[in-house]
Every structure is written in C-alpha cells, then in structure tokens.
Amino acid sequence: MANIQIDKNEFKRLLGKEISDKKLLEQASYLGAHWHSIENGKAEVEVYPNRPDLLSVEGLARAYKGFFGVQKGLKDYPVEKGDIEVKKEESVEEVRPYIGAAVVRNLNLSKKSIESLIQLQEKLHKTMGRERNKLAIGLHDLSQLKPPFKYKAVKPGEVSFTPLEHEKQMSLEEILEKHEKGVKYSWILEECDKYPIITDADEKVLSFPPIINNKLTEVDNSTENVFIDVTGKDRQTVEKALNIVATAIADRGGTIESVWVDGKELPDLYPEEMSLDIHYFRKISGLSLMEDEIKERLEKMNYDAEKETSDSLKVKIPAYRTNIMHQYDLIEDIVIAHGYGEITPELPEVDQIGDQKGIEEFTSLLRQIMVSSGVLETNTYFLSSKDKLFDKMESERKEIVEMKNSLTEDYSALRNWMTPSMLQVLKNNRHHGYPQKFFEAEDVAVLDDSPTGASNVRKLAYIVSDKEVDFNDVREVLQVLERDLGEDFRVKADEKPFLKSNRSGDIFIDGEKLGFIGEISQQVVENWDLEKPVAVFELNIDKLYELIY
Amino acid sequence: MFVKLSTQAIEILEGLKKEETKSVKQFTEEGFDQSTVNRAGLELEENSLVKIEEEEEIVYELTIEGQEIIENGSPEHQLIQRLKNGAKQISELQDLNIDVALGKARSKNWIKIEEGEAYLTDQGRENLGTDQIRIRLENQDYAEEDIERGLVRQETKKLRRLILSEEGKKIDLEELVEEFNVEAHTETPKTGKKHFYKEVTDYARTTWLEMGFEEMSGDFVVPSLLNFDALYTPQDHPARELHDTFFLKTPEKADISEYGDKIDHIKQTHQDGWTTGSKGYKTEWNEEEAAKNILRTHTTAVSARRLHEIDVNKEELPKKLFIVGRNFRNETVDRTHLAGFIQTDGIVVGEKLNFKNLKGYISEFFERMGYEKFRIIPAYYPYTEMSAEVQVWDEEDGSWLGAGGAGLFRPEVVKPLLGFEATVLAWGLGVPRIAMKAADIEDIRELYRNDIEILEETPIWRPDK
C-alpha cells in the first residue's frame, strides 16, 4: 500500500468539475482509493497495490472523471508513429532483461506537474517495482540526446558519467559505493559482474538502471520532449509501468510517440479485451442489473463494453490497468461503480446448527471452575525468548519454535510452556497488594513430527504469590478441579530445576502425566525480580480432554 | 446527650479519638474501604463531630514507556551504547525503539547520521557512562521533560482529611448509640474474574455459534503455502518480506506433500491461471518458498486449510465456518502496535451465495456485537475479489473505525484448494478496540499487561454497555 499526496486544486482542474472537500472525503473512497484527509490544499490518498495507475494526480483525476460522471468510458490515447529506436544487446539478458520506452512531445510542464511525475515514479518503484528490483523508470529531456539508443551491460569500471545530485563524474562502481542511491539499491546488482546502462548514438550515458540517471538529461520546466525508459525483470510489469507513466504525462497535454524497442513498437496502448458473462455477474454480485446498466457501470470505471452474445459483453480494458486477470476483477469494478453502499445485506438460507470444538468447550468449563475458585484470568503474550523460557527458569535450553528474523530478543520464540508468562504477570503487578492469584488456559507450541514440525498444545496454568505461600495453596485449587470434574488426579514427588526440592511433583491421571505442581525455587523467584514466594501448577489440557472424554 | 451513629462511623470516630486528625488515605491503608470512610466522615460531619478538609495531592505513575526504561535503559542510551565501538548502519539497529532512539539522540547532539550510518559525537561519548533518565525514574525523582515525553503520568488526586471537632473531642464514646446504616458501603470482596479482552472474544465466539457456524482450529506454525500461496499471494508480494512476517529458524520447513496435486495446481494458477479462468500472475513459483514455515499472519490460513479438508473429507455444502484465533506480525511493539493479535475469520462455502450475503453476515455479526451502523468500502487483498474494508460507526468518538476485511475468495483460491468451483464468502475481523474501550485503556499493550486493578475493576463487557 502506498500513500500519495496530491494538490487538491490540480486534481479539480484535471477533473474539470468543482467538487467540495466534504463530498470528496465522503464519497471518493468508494472508488477503491482511500481518501484520508484534505488539509492546506493537499489531499492524502491511500492507493491499493492493484491500482498503480492511481499513484498520480493525473491518474486519480482520470479515474474520478468516470466515477463522478464527467467523462465515462475508455479514454483514447493516440500514439504517433515515431522512428526512435532502442537496441537491446545480448549482454543484459543475465542482468536486467527487459526494457520499454516511449516519447511524449510538446509538453509545457509546470513545477507542480514535475513534482507529481517524480512522486509517481517513486511510488511505482516502491510498490509495483518492489523497491526498483522488478522495475525502474527513467525520465529524460530528449533535447540533450541523440538517438538511436542502446541498452547494454558493461563492466563496473568501464563507464563514467555525472549522476544526478552530484557534480563530478563517477564510474558505475563508484556510484554503487558512494552515491546515496547507489548505496541504497546496490543489493539489486549484488550478484552481477556487469551493470546495465542506456547510451545514445554518441555513447553518452542516459541512465544506469535501476540506480540513477545522468544529470545532463534531468527534466525541468523548460523540457518539451520527454524520453521515458523502463527497465526490469518481468516483461509484463515493465510494459504496464510504461503505459501508466506515458498516459499520465500525456494527460498534461503532450503527444505520445512510439519507440521501437528491440523490434517492438511501444507503448502498446491497445486495450485488452475480456468477456463478461452476465449471468455469472448476477449470480456472484446478487445484483439483478440489466445489460445496459452493467455497461453504464463499466463505463464509469473507464472501460468500454459492447454486446458479444446474448449472455455476454465484450469489455475493453484500459492499457494502464494492471491485475485484471479474471472476469471476477471486472465484476468487482461493476459493483464498485454501482456503489458498495447500495448493496442491501441479505442472509441466505443455510441450514446449519452452531457447533463448537470440543477442546474449546472444555477450556470454557475449566475457566469457569478457575474463576469460581476466586482466581483472576490473564491474557499474556505467546511470543517469548529462550532467556525467559529456560535461563530465567534455571532450566536447560532445548529446541523450541524459534524465529529467524525477530526485531527483538523478547519476541524470538513461541512459548513452549505457560509458567514463565505467569511469572511475568506477577512481575508486572509487584506494586499491588497480595495475595495475587492468576490463571490462564491457552496454547503453547511444541516441536513434534507433524508435517510442519510443530503443533499447538493447550495448557492451564495457575499461580499464587503471597507473604507466605506453600504447596497446599496450589494443591487446594487442583482439588477444586478434581472435585468439579469428578476426576481423581495423583501427585507423585519429582524434582524440577525451577521448583523447590521436596515441594514439587508431577500430576497424573490414569497413569498419564498431565503436568507439574510445586513451589517456585528461591533462585527463580529472584531471577524474575519477585519479592514474595510463589507456587504454581501447569496442566496439559489437550491430554486431559482426551483422557476423560 | 446521646448521639445515634452507624457502626462504621463509630469505628472511624474511635480511630480519630487517638490522633485527632487523619486522612482518608491513612484509613484505607489501615484496611478500611475508601467509600466507607467517606460516608462515615459525612455522617460524623452532619453530627458536628468532625470537620472535613479537602487537599490536593499530585501523584506520579510510570507509563509503560517509563517502566521499559527502568528495565532496559532509555532508547537513546541503548543506542549510544551500541555505537560505542564504531558507526553502525541504521538497518542494524532496528531491534531498538529506533525512531525514538534516533530522534532523542540527535536532538541531544549525541549522534550524527551520514549516508544511513549513525556514529557518536564527542558529546555522545561523554554520556556513555550513566543513563540519567533511567536513574531519575528509578529514584522517582521525575523531571518536567519526563512528563512531557510521556514516561511519567501526573495526576492530581483530591484527598480528604477528617479533623475531630471540639464537640467530637469532648464526646464520650459510651454515649454513642449504635444504629445500623443500610446506606453505607462495605468492602467489595476479592473474586475471580475472566479477562476483559477474553470476555469480548468469548462473546464473538458465542455470536458465531448462535448464527449457526461451525468452529475451526489450527496451529500457529503453518507453511507459507497456506498463509500465502494458496491465498493467491505472489511470491514476491511485500507481505512476505522479512519485516512483516515471522519466518522460522526451527522448524524451518514443512513437509507439504499432504497437499498432493494441489501444490501443482497452485503453482499453475500463479503462473498462468490453470483452469480457473484467470490469466495468473505470470510470475515464477517456487515450491521451496511455499514450504517455508512461518507464524501465521492471519487466521485466513486456517480457512484455507479448512477448504482443503472439505475436499479431503468429501463434506457436504453449504457450510458456515469460523475461528477466533491468534496471529503474528513482525512489528515493533509500541502504544498502537503488537506483534500478535486476535482475529475472527469466517467462511461460508456454497453454490448459491453472493456479495449481498457477505454483507448480510457481517452486518448481523456487528449488530449482535452492539454496533448499529457499519459500512463496507472497496479495498484490496490478493485473495478476494469484491474486496472490502469493514468499518463500524463508533458512537462515542463519532468516527468510522476499521474493523477488518472481507470479500469473496477468488476462483484462483477456491478451485485449487477445494478441487472445484464454489462461492466462498470470507472475512477476517478484529475486536481489540472494543476491549480497549471497555477497559478504558489507550495503550494497546495494556491488553497483555494484566494489571490487577484493571482486571478487577473493568465491568464485564456486553454489547449494549
């Protein structure tokens, strides 16, 4: 997702219609771009990844012309046949194989329109271009250049030019090491021994994609003719981005002229066609619109549509639209044009009785018993660390579910037991009065031989702390569970590294081990910066459920 | 002269007889209930035995940010410690509370940043020794800037003080006639209680059950296949990057062979649309990438798994399914962000379903959760078409509140998982704002801090409260 800032007056001028801020904020988001605010003449608009064509004020104005009914249907962008050529050399195949290009002539660019184009370029780099890896765009003042152009890959030290934002000539290698943009994007070329460049007939470098352009060709308000290059790793993405940029610039009053790229004439602004099954539309949307109503709504979204068969429409898709992969995408746009707000909620007949998971029902029952025993329920983090789960518990570290890329050590593993979470709760409440009693019935994750290698296990933990606490203060609550469930548990003495010697044991039912019970050792109490003694039990309630149901 | 007084007032008067003056706070520290003392005080004042004076006291309380500084040191001091042995790339310091750390360290002139690298200034080096802020907070010796920075909360509390009047001094306790005061408060007993956030999620669960939905379940660890690929999220989608999703060191990869031919169908769907009627993304698709384990980032991964099971078990349609579950995002935790969150996902699978029905279920759910007004606006998710953001109207704030996403699963999702075409209504909704409002908290971390006072004092949530 990307947020763009647009000049409100520019938007209204391009839209060709007066519209109040209030109406924009209330209604414009129903097109599928989120209008967050309008302040001091600037509007903040959030654009979704399926609509990169809306990443400029020109693109937004074009879309809203249709949506607000100023100019509906497919917008025609005439392309004049040009004779400028870009030759692609074999050497780029391994590095950055695709290039697209176009020319827009007779421009009269204002400072604001240049700002908008730069924003469009940057946002496309970030979103559709995946930080310039998948695509990078260059805009050049054509008057400084002599076609034909060449797209080739050269050795890092072979070529030098003066990049934007710098005064001195630098080699490609130096640019990657020293230029701000070079440092930021050098990772894209990390595994390449040659780097891509675009040169003109005099071997002058226009651009070192995806890093930086030559200072010489910088576009300013004296620029009349713009040469656009788009390079990347995916043909479809490159050509779509070229269409988005070329049409946005043309909306400023220029004429698009084609360029011959490796034998192909670009930009290809010919609309793609897709069939829309009218019955399918009605079935999925629940809207019983007539054929001409569907057509009208398509035109509001800048499509053209004509009758194909008695049950289908042939839809022409603007060449700057991406992500129209299935007629589902057309259906969505028809419903958007119709208005999400106009959809009447309707519940279908689906005969089914509510059915909860047995373990969830059992968990609710246990929580009920714990609450009636006078214990407060907690809600703790599932993410933890080996330090908290083992070291602070005086237990030996072992393998657990552990993350590769945590931002902090505190959230670097999934907890494999509950007791550390409960000790954290006591720590958070040190400033309150005692006794303190807490419980939680939640999931932990353990490694096992399931297909992923890890599964959730539901546990119940109870913890108590007071000036004086002993084994019986936890044993009594375990007995409430036994009484209310009508089951008998057995506790057998067993030593644990985190529990006091002679005050610890395992809990069994029918000879199966369910968990442990005991007084927390003095060392562990100190590790958690606690001042008062603590006792605890923890049960595997997945296992308990299995055994008693 | 005989004076009639309640038992509680007599107790308070006895307490005052010894010391002549005592604050309400002193009484509560001795174990009296605060409202009992206040009422008894008023009763004694009415009988001219006591005078009540009000005084103000300023109390300070550490915020979560403040507590964190006591535990780990201030972010700027942690930062300069890390730069002690030389400059570091900002990207290497992301584990710190980096925005605050950089901002503060720069304004104090401790560091400089050049070309994405931070290094110490001389002034920064001088400050390596002691973390002044941490020391101040530890000693409760707060400065004005600590309050401005939101490390300490300052509150003015009204304190009442009871002073024995001349008459009160003279009165003989023997002369008092005890009279039971039914109007007086007594102490509220300590009880067990469910967590306020779970009250809300329990309510959501019950609501789905009442609406006839069957519950789903699933593990936190899932292969990327379920969380992303089966949900038609391309392998180069930004959500799959390291800063959004927790990838696992252990267990690193899943065995996805149980999905059999479906893996190939998913692959083809991404590449050219397979037989779904789609053109596909026309991008590379790598099975290794799909086998990488992650912590699920949405419960929609459970819905995807369930679609697969419907096929495996040859279950009959239509079917309504839901889950309330935890999900994880690799985010820096602060006042408004957590690395984990609870979401409720639902799917309805069948032949005769449409967009109106989707809106119908969501509207029914939120109505039952106490929201009278809701709306959907267009949004984008890779796995739904007619994608919608769900918003509810917050009467108190007078604004629309984001409450999750919804849509119809794309054919590119349904056919490979289910094996045939069907309509699937789907949503993923969140309720933390409801819980935060119920407990009157603004810092989202409070949902997980379990402060006894908040646990005890928060009324049990119900939709019209």
**Chain A residues whose beta carbon lies within 8 Å of the beta carbon of residue B326:** 382, 443
Same domain, B224 and B339: yes
Same domain, B58 and B12: yes
Would the pLDDT of B165 be above 70? yes
Residues A515 and A512: their CA atoms lie apart, in Å, by: 9
Indicate yes or no: CB of A374 within 8 angstroms of CB of B190.
yes
pLDDT value at position A261? 95
Neighbours of B213 (CB within 10 A): 26
Element (H, E) at B69: helix B64-72
Question: Is the pLDDT higher at A287 or at A157?
Answer: A287
Same domain, B435 and B392: yes
* CATH assignment of the domain containing B144: 1.10.10
A384: contact with B, CB 8 A cutoff: no
**Chain A residues whose beta carbon lies within 8 Å of the beta carbon of residue B447:** 379
In sequence order, the 6+-apart residues with CB closer than 8 A to the CB of B200 are B431, B434, B435, B438, B461
**Shortest distance, CA A426 to any CA of chain B (angstroms):** 9
Same domain, B378 and B422: yes
**Chain A residues whose beta carbon lies within 8 Å of the beta carbon of residue B238:** 49, 127, 130
From A323, which residue of chain B is nearest by alpha-carbon distance? Answer: B281
What is the CATH architecture of A2-67? 2-Layer Sandwich (3.30)
**Chain A residues whose beta carbon lies within 8 Å of the beta carbon of residue B377:** 29-30, 34, 340
A180: contact with B, CB 8 A cutoff: yes
Segments making up each domain of chain A, as ranges: 2-67, 79-266, 272-341, 358-548
CATH code assigned to A358-548:
3.30.930.10
Indicate yes or no: CB of B212 within 8 angstroms of CB of A360.
no
**Shortest distance, CA A489 to any CA of chain B (angstroms):** 23
pLDDT value at position A1? 67
**Shortest distance, CA B128 to any CA of chain A (angstroms):** 22
Q: What is the mean pLDDT of residues A126-155?
A: 93
Give the CA-trace dihedral at A414, A415, A416, A420, to 10 degrees.
170
From B67, which residue of chain A is nearest by alpha-carbon distance? Answer: A428
Indicate yes or no: CB of B221 within 8 angstroms of CB of A359.
no
Neighbours of B140 (CB within 10 A): 9
Give the CA-trace dihedral at B258, B260, B263, B264, to 10 degrees.
170
- Picking from A183, A353, A445, the nearest residue to B220 by CB comes out as A445
pLDDT value at position B139? 86
**Shortest distance, CA B452 to any CA of chain A (angstroms):** 7
Instruction: Give the full edge-to-edge strand order of the sheet including A42-47.
Output: A2-7, A42-47, A33-39
What Rg value do the Cα atoms of chain B yield, rounded? 30
pLDDT band at B335 (very low <50, low <70, confident <90, very high): confident
Domain span at residue B239?
A: 196-457
**Chain A residues whose beta carbon lies within 8 Å of the beta carbon of residue B217:** 357, 359-360
**Shortest distance, CA A82 to any CA of chain B (angstroms):** 30
pLDDT value at position B377? 95
pLDDT band at B426 (very low <50, low <70, confident <90, very high): very high
Indicate yes or no: CB of A326 within 8 angstroms of CB of B333.
no
CATH code assigned to A272-341:
3.30.56.10
Indicate yes or no: CB of B209 within 8 angstroms of CB of A347.
no
Tokens 């995946």 map to which residue? Answer: A130
Indicate yes or no: CB of A406 within 8 angstroms of CB of B197.
no
Same domain, B336 and B292: yes
Indicate yes or no: CB of A284 within 8 angstroms of CB of B355.
yes
* Contact between residue A156 and residue A236 where contact means Cβ atoms under 8 Å apart: no
Buried b (16+ CB within 10 A) or exposed e, B51-88: beeeeeeeeeebbbbbebbeebebbbbbbbebbeeeee
pLDDT value at position B465? 57
Homologous superfamily (CATH) for A79-266: Phenylalanyl-trna Synthetase, Chain B, domain 3 (3.50.40.10)
Q: pLDDT per residue over B75-109, tens digit each?
A: 899 989 888 888 888 777 877 788 888 888 888 88
**B191 within some domain:** no
A373: contact with B, CB 8 A cutoff: yes
Same domain, B372 and B300: yes
**Shortest distance, CA A254 to any CA of chain B (angstroms):** 32
* CATH assignment of the domain containing B364: 3.30.930.10
Residues B82 and B79: their CA atoms lie apart, in Å, by: 5
From B318, which residue of chain A is nearest by alpha-carbon distance? Answer: A350
Residues A368 and A342: their CA atoms lie apart, in Å, by: 44
**Shortest distance, CA A435 to any CA of chain B (angstroms):** 10
**Chain A residues whose beta carbon lies within 8 Å of the beta carbon of residue B365:** none
**Shortest distance, CA B463 to any CA of chain A (angstroms):** 20
Q: Write down the mean pLDDT value for chain B.
A: 90
* CATH assignment of the domain containing B11: 1.10.10.10
Question: Is the pLDDT higher at B189 or at B295?
Answer: B295
A374: contact with B, CB 8 A cutoff: yes
Same domain, B223 and B354: yes
From B452, which residue of chain A is nearest by alpha-carbon distance? Answer: A429
Is the pTM higher than 0.95? The answer reads no
Residues in chain B: 465
Residues A274 and A321: their CA atoms lie apart, in Å, by: 13
Same domain, B212 and B117: no
Residues A294 and A433: their CA atoms lie apart, in Å, by: 68
Q: What is the mean pLDDT of residues B153-169?
A: 85
Pairs across A and B, CB distance < 8 A: 286
Angle, CA of B373, B374 and B376, to the nearest 5°: 155
Please state the φ and ψ torsions of residue A405, each to the nearest 5 degrees: -135, 40
**Shortest distance, CA A134 to any CA of chain B (angstroms):** 9
What Rg value do the Cα atoms of chain A yield, rounded? 33
Same domain, B105 and B54: no
User: Treating both helix axes as pointing N-terminal to C-terminal, what angle do A57-67 and A111-126 enclose, rounded to 10 degrees?
Assistant: 90
**Chain B residues whose beta carbon lies within 8 Å of the beta carbon of residue A340:** 375-378, 388
Same domain, B203 and B107: no
Indicate yes or no: CB of A31 within 8 angstroms of CB of B378.
yes
Same domain, B78 and B166: no
Same fold, A2-67 and A272-341: yes
Give the max Cα distance, chain A: 93
**B68 within some domain:** yes
Q: Write down the mean pLDDT value for chain A.
A: 95
Query: Where does a domain end: B117, B152, B187?
Result: B152
Residues B113 and B398: their CA atoms lie apart, in Å, by: 42
Beta bridge partners of A490: A508
> Distance from first CA to last CA of chain B, Å, rounded?
50
A402: contact with B, CB 8 A cutoff: yes
Angle, CA of A166, A171 and A177, to the nearest 5°: 75
Q: State how many domains chain B has.
A: 3
Residues A364 and A441: their CA atoms lie apart, in Å, by: 9
**Chain B residues whose beta carbon lies within 8 Å of the beta carbon of residue A285:** 354-356, 386
A324 SS3 class: coil
Of B356, B408, B413, which to mutate for an interface test with A (greatest number of A Cβ within 10 Å)?
A: B356
Would the pLDDT of B388 be above 90? yes
For residue B111, which amino acid is it? I
Q: State what percent of residues in chain B have pLDDT above 90.
A: 48
Residue B344 CA: distances (Å) to CA of A544, B182, B325, B365, B388: 27, 47, 6, 11, 16
Q: pLDDT per residue over A286-309, tens digit each?
A: 999 999 999 999 999 999 999 999
pLDDT band at B246 (very low <50, low <70, confident <90, very high): very high
pLDDT value at position B380? 94
pLDDT value at position B1? 57
For residue B417, which amino acid is it? L
**B186 within some domain:** no
Q: pLDDT per residue over A71-85, tens digit each?
A: 999 999 999 999 999
Indicate yes or no: CB of A414 within 8 angstroms of CB of B221.
yes
Beta bridge partners of A312: A277, A309
Indicate yes or no: CB of A456 within 8 angstroms of CB of B220.
yes
* Contact between residue B251 and residue A401 where contact means Cβ atoms under 8 Å apart: yes
Of A24, A328, A455, which to mutate for an interface test with B (greatest number of B Cβ within 10 Å)?
A: A328
- Picking from B250, B389, B423, the nearest residue to A284 by CB comes out as B423
Indicate yes or no: CB of A341 within 8 angstroms of CB of B359.
no
**Shortest distance, CA A373 to any CA of chain B (angstroms):** 7
Same domain, B238 and B347: yes
Residues B279 and B256: their CA atoms lie apart, in Å, by: 25
3-state secondary structure A239-271: HHHHHHHHHHHHCCCCEEEEEEECCEEECCCCC
pLDDT value at position A323? 87
Tell me: cis bond preceding A318? Omega within 30 of 0 counts: no
Beta bridge partners of B409: B384
Q: pLDDT per residue over B339-354, tens digit each?
A: 888 999 999 999 999 9
Indicate yes or no: CB of B452 within 8 angstroms of CB of A429.
yes
Q: What is the mean pLDDT of residues A109-114?
A: 90
Residues B371 and B357: their CA atoms lie apart, in Å, by: 19
Buried b (16+ CB within 10 A) or exposed e, A158-171: ebebebeebeeebb
